[in-house]
Homo-oligomer: A and B are copies of this chain.
């Protein structure tokens, strides 16, 4: 066997741009495990140079033996690096410029940048392949969970039916904490901010955008389509109330920010939204910042992958997975097949039927419930379970779990319900995803 099996081969030389948590985590692994990495990769893995915004910042690793570049683009083009490791983040600006420069300079690229891949993945994959280079991004989705590799390689013999996941640890932390401590969204959001769990722009997390970047990447691999982030139907967790969390628990469910992608006869459905899942399912059991991805293939059935979705060690572990693959000489198209062969997906609004959870507040009027039931019946929605709670204020909370119905039918019913005059406040509807 060739290079990968020999210990004599030339080192693989990295340039690491971005020395935050993940960058420093990557440096630490390379420093701590040099011999183990060389044995596994078949050649030493070394760092030639690094770059970051502030050279003088105190960092938790000795960088003194590496060359320093102030500019990531300059780092990307250095003659003494084979692989450009982009850990800067952001879908525009330096990250995009430096990755492009690296590929044009004939370097392979490893990145943890989900926004960059979700938005510019197609153009970057095409550039990489035209240059005979690879761009790898295991760390971009679900931290240390090897989901990119599982989808691209392990399940390559499967037609993928559906891929879904809880892929933003901060949102799952917030929802779990709300339930466990009985606290309202605003309080826990503030806690999360103070704990440093939120991005500088928190809507990336709680607005579902970060998780949607990841979903768009997974959908591209799953269905052989160009990444189509702008087609994801996104709803964040801001409107999830402690009331709904409690009521859902009463009915045996938990609320998760769940991403789901599936190919249907009408096109590619991609949605990120708070959904109910059975409390005793693997997704329902997921607590705190842990991530989970569920992949359904026509041969393999359902595969569930669970692990830390963020953090220094887990994300650096995923970066190293890609680095070692390149050191071993493994070269693979970014999305599992040549980028030029990916097809432009037809975006489809969610139409796959599901059960729904509805929470309404009934005015204390005779026949109120009958009017609600009649609106649902007219919309073709049948009721699986209903629960009316006691009330002292003259307003009665009512929970309804429907049988499977279409999103259109639910939307229609929700638009008609206020016109009955028997409900107060906004009706809440949440999809119950079958897991």
Interface residues of A (CB under 8 A from B): 1-2, 4-5, 7, 25, 29, 33, 36-37, 39-42, 129, 132-134, 138, 144-146, 149-150, 153-159, 224, 280, 282, 285, 297-308, 311, 313-314, 316-321, 323-325, 328-333, 336-338, 341
Asked if residues A316 and B157 are in contact (CB atoms below 8 Å), the reply is: yes
Asked if residues B307 and A303 are in contact (CB atoms below 8 Å), the reply is: yes
Identify A155's interface contact among B2, B317, B330, CB under 8 A.
Answer: B317
Q: How far is A39 from B333 in the complex, measured between Cα atoms in Å?
A: 11
Chain B CB within 10 A, most for which of A154, A298, A300: A154
- The smallest beta-carbon distance between A402 and chain B, in angstroms, is 27
Instruction: A40-B336, A42-B337, A158-B317 given; name 19 further pairs at CB < 8 Å.
Output: A1-B132, A1-B134, A1-B331, A7-B341, A25-B299, A33-B157, A42-B338, A144-B299, A154-B321, A155-B317, A157-B321, A157-B324, A298-B313, A300-B307, A300-B308, A301-B308, A303-B305, A303-B307, A329-B331
Q: How far is A325 from B39 in the complex, measured between Cα atoms in Å?
A: 21
CB nearest to A37 among chain B residues: B157
Identify A144's interface contact among B153, B300, B328, CB under 8 A.
Answer: B300
Q: How far is A157 from B331 in the complex, measured between Cα atoms in Å?
A: 18
Q: A4-B331, A157-B324, A317-B155 are in contact. Are A306 and B303 (CB under 8 A)?
A: yes
- The smallest beta-carbon distance between A120 and chain B, in angstroms, is 19
Per CB-CB distance, the 3 closest pairs between chain A and chain B, nearest first, are A157-B320, A146-B154, A144-B300
- The smallest beta-carbon distance between A131 and chain B, in angstroms, is 9
Q: A303-B146, A330-B330 are in contact. Are A156 and B280 (CB under 8 A)?
A: no
- The smallest beta-carbon distance between A172 and chain B, in angstroms, is 15
- The smallest beta-carbon distance between A309 and chain B, in angstroms, is 11
Identify A325's interface contact among B153, B224, B306, CB under 8 A.
Answer: B153
Chain B residues near A329 (CB, 8 Å)? 331
Q: How far is A155 from B322 in the complex, measured between Cα atoms in Å?
A: 10
Q: A146-B303, A280-B285, A301-B307 are in contact. Are A41 and B4 (CB under 8 A)?
A: no
Asked if residues A333 and B155 are in contact (CB atoms below 8 Å), the reply is: no
- The smallest beta-carbon distance between A221 and chain B, in angstroms, is 10
Q: How far is A313 from B338 in the complex, measured between Cα atoms in Å?
A: 26
Asked if residues B313 and A5 are in contact (CB atoms below 8 Å), the reply is: no
Chain B residues near A331 (CB, 8 Å)? 1-2, 4, 329
Q: A280-B285, A282-B282, A305-B305 are in contact. Are A333 and B300 (CB under 8 A)?
A: no
Asked if residues B305 and A304 are in contact (CB atoms below 8 Å), the reply is: yes
Asked if residues B332 and A328 are in contact (CB atoms below 8 Å), the reply is: yes
Asked if residues B153 and A324 are in contact (CB atoms below 8 Å), the reply is: yes
Asked if residues A156 and B314 are in contact (CB atoms below 8 Å), the reply is: no
Chain B residues near A323 (CB, 8 Å)? 157
Asked if residues B29 and A157 are in contact (CB atoms below 8 Å), the reply is: yes
Chain B residues near A336 (CB, 8 Å)? 40
Asked if residues A154 and B129 are in contact (CB atoms below 8 Å), the reply is: no
CB nearest to A131 among chain B residues: B1
Q: How far is A306 from B306 in the complex, measured between Cα atoms in Å?
A: 8
Asked if residues B5 and A333 are in contact (CB atoms below 8 Å), the reply is: yes
Identify A156's interface contact among B1, B41, B153, B308, CB under 8 A.
Answer: B41
Identify A321's interface contact among B146, B156, B302, CB under 8 A.
Answer: B156
